[in-house]
Each structure stands twice: as C-alpha cells, then as structure tokens.
Amino acid sequence: MQNQAEQIRSFILENIPEHPKDIVAITAQKFAVSRTTVHRHLNKLAKDKKIIKTGTTVRAMYTLFSSRNKTIETKIQSGVDENEIWKENFQRDFSALNENVSYICNYGFTEIFNNALDHSEGSLVIAKTEWKEDAVKIVIMDNGIGIFKKIKTALGLEDERESVLQLSKGKFTTEPKNHTGEGIFFTSRCFDEFWIVANGLRYRKCNKPDDWFFDSRKDKQEDGTYISMQISFNSKRRVEQIFNEYSSADSINSGIKKFDKTHILVILSKLEEERYVSRSQAKRILIGLEKFREIILDFRDITTVGQGFVDEIFRVFKNGHPETIIEYCNTNKDVEFMIKRGIPTSE
C-alpha cells in the first residue's frame, strides 16, 4: 500500500497532463497539505526526471518528462507553412518558457524549417524536440542533397568543406531573390549550441562559451541535412541583442539597423594541412565580403600567415573596397607582425 508521499506523487503524475499550470493548487486541496509540501514533491519528481518545470512563480508550468518530446514528419510540397507547423505542434509546449527563450526557439524553428522546405530539394522534413532537465533541443532534418553540397554547387567551389566557411559569413543564399541569407547566421548565434551535419561534414557553433568546431572527416551520414539547436531555460540571450552585435556603429547610430558586420573564423577556410601563405587562400575567405561594412577576422589557432595572403586581404581587397573596415583578433606574435607589416602599404 502506498504511503501518502507516494500517493501525492502518483496523483501529480496522473493529473499533470490536464493541469500543467494549477497542479500545485489541486494537489494541495486533494491531500489537505501546504503548497510548500506539494513543491517538495514536484522537485523530487523533477530531480528523478519524471516531470519538467518551465517558467517561474505564477507562470510556472509542469509537464511529464516525455510528453513534450515530439517527432513531426512533413512532406515538402506547395502550401506547407512553417509557422502553422510551429503553432499546431510546438507553440503550446514553449509558451511557459521565458519570453526571450520562447522567441528564440520560435525564430530558430521557423528559419531552419523554411530552409528545408525551400532549399533542400528533398521530399520530407522531420522536426523533433527533446526536453531536458534545464534545456530544450530542436532538431530539423531533411532527405535532400545536403546543405554543403548545395553551396558548393551554387558557388562552384572545389571542395564541400569550403561551404562551411561561406555559410558562417552570413548573407549567403542560393536563392537571393527570395532569401537574405541571414537565417542560419543568426540562428547559430542565438542558441547555446548549434550543429549542422551534412554531406559527411560536421559543423558546430557553441555560444556558451564562444567556440567553433568543424570536423572534415567523412562519417556515415550521406543524404540530407541534420540541424540541431539547444538552449537552456535560463538563457538571457535575446534575438535583438544578436542583431545589434552584427550591425555596424554607423548603422546603429542612424537608427536603421542593418546586418552589415560579420565575424569570420579564418581557420574554417583551411583544407588539410595547408598554411595561410597564398593569395588564392585569401580570396577564398574574401568571397562575398563586399556585402559588409565591417569585417572581423578571427585568427585563433592560426600560427603563421604569408605576405601574399596578408597583402590580398589588407591591401588589394581594401583598396577595392575603401569603405569597408577590416579588423582582426586572436593573433599570435608572428601573425600580428605579418599583418602590421602589410597594413602600412595600404594606408
């Protein structure tokens, strides 16, 4: 026979689906116990990963741990609306999260789902949610040609690995008439962790702390694109904050904020064991950067650069685009010396 503690927890588990917001009140009334006692049982169930709490104080909502984990399959065809998919299947689940987190999840879902519909050239897109104790992960995958192969073909690149660099810059799209190329760029910076797996390549953007990962080793995944986005319930990040970060000072001061600033991890352009010495390598990095007013080149993990590489970026490109501001960061002494040695020739 169950003791009272077991009875209370069983009652909570049975009634949470119908009472996600008022389970504390109805449990306290049912068993004539205090709300503090009910919260103690709720905390025990959450610790045992049987329920999830989202929101705080009066906006708190409780759900069974597995009930929010959903998988939705959608045929890619005319008339499919990513906003309707979100509203019908996921909006309620995310409504109790803090407003900034809920908005980021809505923004990321619709941007990536729409990309699959418009760009994948596949027949099916699958959306999944995985709720954890303190975070939620959204996965969207399709059975198309793969995002890195798509970019390689559109730009005429020699290697699909070069697509990772182009994608990370922002403002790149294979359909400029219908898309701005901003979706993946900003989505990858809104979540705590963002993964793309396609065409045997893996790319991760981690924003807590700021870090990147790119694995060029082929794996078993060949068809389609897999994208996952994870964010903690207590994240303070806001979409407008990310947009401001990538708007130049002139754009912000004018009151008309534009996506005209980008941050590029130079090492993403590296193929095999090549060193950064040639103009062709610099040109690989410079593709599409004429669209930006401010460019930050991040040289983390780069040990040396050559004169031709530096000259192509800091003199040739700069002379051709005098209105563009090029900055750099995370250089070691050798790289810093070569860059400073090359900059005076363009001034």
CA gap 89, 72 in Å, rounded: 8
Q: What is the pTM of this model?
A: 0.79
Q: Helices in 81-197 by DSSP H: which ranges? A: 82-89, 91-94, 99-119, 147-155, 162-169, 183-190
* pLDDT at residue 254, as a whole number: 60
Q: How are beta strands 135-142 and 193-198 bridged, if at all?
A: unpaired
- Tell which CATH architecture fits domain 246-346: 2-Layer Sandwich (3.30)
Class level of CATH domain 71-238: alpha beta
According to DSSP, the β-strands at 325-329 and 294-298 are parallel
Q: pLDDT value at position 347?
A: 47
For the stretch 198-220, what's the b/e string if a residue is b when 16 or more beta carbons lie within 10 angstroms of its beta carbon? bbbbbbbbbbeeeebebeeeeee
Q: Strand, coil or helix: what is 215?
A: strand
Query: Cα separations (Å) of 59 from 96, 100, 202?
Result: 6, 14, 38
DSSP 20: T
Q: Are 283 and 269 in contact (CB under 8 A)?
A: no
> CB of 138 within 8 A of CB of 228?
yes
Contact by Cβ (8 Å): 80, 115: no
Tokens of 117: 């519909």
Q: Which fold has domain 4-64?
A: Arc Repressor Mutant, subunit A (1.10.10)
64: helix, coil or strand?
strand
Q: Would you give per-residue pLDDT tens digits along the chain (347 residues)?
A: 568 888 999 999 888 888 888 899 999 999 999 999 999 999 898 888 788 887 776 678 888 776 778 999 999 999 999 999 999 999 988 987 889 999 999 999 999 999 999 989 999 999 999 988 789 999 999 999 999 999 888 888 888 888 888 888 887 666 656 556 678 889 999 999 999 999 888 889 898 777 777 776 555 556 799 999 999 999 999 998 998 888 876 665 566 667 889 998 888 877 766 676 778 888 888 988 998 999 999 998 888 888 899 999 999 999 999 999 999 999 999 999 999 887 754 44
Q: Where are the domains of the chain?
A: 4-64, 71-238, 246-346
Cβ contacts of residue 242 below 8 Å, gap of 6+? 186, 189, 190
Q: Structure tokens of 175?
A: 């359909």
- Please give the pLDDT value at position 147: 92
Do the beta carbons of residue 219 and residue 202 sit within 8 Å? Answer: yes
